[in-house]
Amino acid sequence: MIMRFCIALFLSVALSSPAKADRPNIVVILADDQGFGDVSALNPESKISTPNIDRIANEGMIFSDGHSSSSVCTPTRYSILTGRYHWRTHLQRGVLGGFSRPLISRDRLTIASMLKAQGYHTGCFGKWHLGWD
């Protein structure tokens, strides 16, 4: 089952990608529980070797001055996707789990909806914690 999903994902990405990009690719990597100095691109003396992340960082952009007003993942994800302060949601503490009411309303402008309007294909992989729709 997982192998079929991986093959389908690979084929859909490979077949939907243009041969030559007329605009830059955008990849946002959000890592939980990662210290600033853990990645060797940001700290050459890091005890953790991260050659692939280093290559991505060297060929792209690094945003190193982002701050979250919470120590858990849900508020950070909400703020990055919407550009809004997380306290503007119905969630006043903690992390959304299971089948919670979505934090992002259908009509809320997000980075994904803005990119789609410009012709980009968007996707999100990994932990969500923003409620199910």
Which tokens hold the place of 108? 């809320």
Q: How far apart are CA 47 and CA 113, in angstroms?
A: 39
Q: List the catalytic residue out of 6, 67, 73, 86.
A: 73
Q: How far apart are CA 40 and CA 43, in angstroms?
A: 5
Q: Is 73 designated active site?
A: yes
Q: Is 129 designated active site?
A: yes
Neighbours of 113 (CB within 10 A): 13
What's the gap between Cα 107 and its chain centre?
20
Residue 78 to residues 38, 68, 85, 95, 131, Cα–Cα distance (Å): 24, 11, 8, 11, 11
Torsion (CA) 75, 68, 23, 107 in degrees, nearest 10: 30
Q: List the catalytic residue out of 6, 67, 86, 129.
A: 129
What residues are annotated to the active site?
Answer: 73, 129
